[in-house]
């Protein structure tokens, strides 16, 4: 009791003042662009008037324009992005989970070598090979248009290529913490490795799977370089490519609807992130402590 009181007292002493000032200064920096984008999305002209951060007159014109103007198929972009990111997240986390289970639980010849090889390969970001990816998928288009250049299917395949290197590490770290006795008991009861995987490990790892899926989802949402290479047609674009092509270079004319689009697309993601903040933060800090 006395300790708690003492702490409370301490926090009011002037020595903590700099901490508060520092936090407030940084918070202004942190929220400045967010305030700008929200208020310009609500301003009729899309531009901010001189000397004021808040719009003089609130209008929702920019928001309605997003879903009515045929030159900005924003709804289509959102659907493309969500489908692409969700399908990629689910498949790649499943593939990552398969790999993590094999690496963590199964003992086989070449295990250590394959782990090391995988670790080395995944340090090379695949988009560095962008010219080669372009040529390969240009060729695949002539055979299978559905997965060739210009298609969301082809883009998905490129993303999936990195799935084993992506989530497998985080998941393996988590699986390593599950006691071995669990699978030994199951083995004694006659369970096969795939039964152990589907019926014991998968349910146990639901929280970490959710976080991995979310991180993968956000990653795809933010991916620009490969998406811009693949998705030339305005109808197949993701939000990132669509908003960039729409606003790039012509901030004056399109800034208002762009701001509205950003707000619409950011809200669900920020909400998801903040709701899972605890898990994400512990994942991030665990990385620092483990190293």
Partner 1 sequence: MNPLKPSAMAAIIKVFLLAIASALIVWMIYVAVLASDWIVAGTLSVILIGANVVYFSKKAVASKFLFPGSVLLVIFVIVPIIYTAWMSVYNYKTGNEITKDAAITQLHQVGLVPDPSGTSYDMVLGHYNGQDAVLLTNQSTHEVSIGLKDKLTVLSAGSFTTDANQKAVTATGFTADTPAQIAQANTWLSAFMVPAGNDLYISPQGTDVAALMHEKFQFNADNTKIVDTVGGITYVDNGNGNFVGQKDATAVLYPGWRQFNPAQNYVGLLTDPKLNGPLLGVFIWTISFAFISVLMMWALGLTLALAMDKKIRFRAFYRGVLILPYAMPSFMSILIWAGIFNVNYGALNNLLGIHVDWLNDPWLARLVILIVNLWLGFPYFYLISTGALQALPTDIEEAAEIDGASGSQIFWRIKLPLIFQILSPLLIGSFAFNFNNFNLIYLLTKGGPIDILNGQTAGATDILITYAYKTAFGGNDQNLGLACAISVIMFVIVGALSMWSLKRSRVLEEM
In whole angstroms, what is the distance from residue 148 CA to residue 153 CA?
A: 8
- By beta-carbon proximity to partner 1, the closer residue of 67 and 98 is 98
Task: Compute the C-alpha angle 193/105/186, nearest 5°.
Answer: 45
In whole angstroms, what is the distance from residue 202 CA to residue 171 CA?
A: 11
- By beta-carbon proximity to partner 1, the closer residue of 103 and 236 is 103
Tell whether residue 52 is a contact of partner 1 (CB under 8 A).
yes
Q: How far is the CB of 180 from partner 1 (least distance, A)?
A: 17
Q: How far is the CB of 79 from partner 1 (least distance, A)?
A: 16
- By beta-carbon proximity to partner 1, the closer residue of 68 and 199 is 199
CB-based contact 126:133 (threshold 8 Å): yes
Q: How far is the CB of 281 from partner 1 (least distance, A)?
A: 6
**Interacting positions 134-173 with partner 1 (CB under 8 A):** 134-136, 140, 142-144, 157-158, 160-165, 168
In whole angstroms, what is the distance from residue 274 CA to residue 82 CA?
A: 19
- By beta-carbon proximity to partner 1, the closer residue of 76 and 193 is 193
Nearest to 235 by CA among 87, 86, 74, 83: 74
Tell whether residue 49 is a contact of partner 1 (CB under 8 A).
yes
The 3-state DSSP composition of the chain as helix, strand, coil percent (nearest 5) reads 80, 0, 20
How many chain residues touch partner 1 (CB under 8 A)? 110
Per-residue string for binding with partner 1, 6-35, x by CB under 8 A?
-x---xx---x-xxx-xx--xx-xxxxxx-
CB-based contact 286:278 (threshold 8 Å): no
Q: What are the residues whose beta carbons fall under 8 Å from the beta carbon of 10, sequence distance 6 or more?
A: 16
In whole angstroms, what is the distance from residue 37 CA to residue 34 CA?
A: 5
Per-residue string for binding with partner 1, 192-231, x by CB under 8 A?
xxxx-xxx------------------x--xx-xx---x--
Tell whether residue 123 is a contact of partner 1 (CB under 8 A).
yes
**Interacting positions 55-94 with partner 1 (CB under 8 A):** none
Which residue in the set 65, 171, 211, 259 belongs to the binding site for partner 1 (CB under 8 A)? 259
């Amino acid at each position: 009791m006395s300790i708690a009181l003492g702490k409370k007292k301490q926090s009011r002493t002037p020595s903590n003042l700099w901490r508060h000032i520092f936090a407030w200064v940084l918070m202004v920096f942190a929220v400045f662009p967010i305030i700008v984008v929200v208020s310009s999305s609500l301003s009729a002209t899309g531009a901010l008037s001189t000397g004021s951060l808040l719009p003089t007159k609130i209008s929702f014109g920019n928001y309605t324009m997003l879903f009515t103007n045929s030159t900005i198929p924003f709804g289509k972009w959102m659907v493309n992005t969500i489908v692409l990111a969700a399908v990629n997240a689910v498949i790649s986390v499943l593939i990552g989970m398969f790999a993590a289970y094999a690496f963590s639980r199964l003992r086989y010849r070449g295990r250590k070598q394959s782990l090391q090889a995988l670790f080395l390969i995944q340090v090379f970001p695949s988009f560095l090979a962008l010219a080669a990816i372009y040529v390969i998928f240009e060729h695949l288009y002539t055979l299978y248009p559905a997965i060739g250049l210009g298609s969301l299917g082809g883009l998905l395949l490129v993303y999936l290529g990195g799935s084993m290197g992506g989530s497998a590490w985080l998941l393996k770290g988590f699986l390593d913490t599950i006691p071995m006795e669990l699978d030994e008991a199951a083995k004694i009861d006659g369970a096969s490795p795939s039964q152990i995987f589907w019926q014991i490990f998968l349910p146990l790892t639901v929280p970490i799977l959710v976080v991995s899926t979310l991180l993968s989802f956000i990653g795809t949402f933010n991916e620009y370089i490969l998406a811009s290479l693949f998705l030339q047609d305005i109808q197949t674009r993701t939000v990132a490519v669509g908003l960039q092509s729409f606003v790039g270079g012509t901030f004056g004319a399109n800034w208002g609807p762009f701001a509205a689009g950003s707000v619409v697309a950011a809200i669900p993601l920020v909400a998801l992130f903040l709701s899972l903040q605890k898990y994400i933060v512990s994942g991030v800090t665990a990385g620092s402590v483990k190293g």
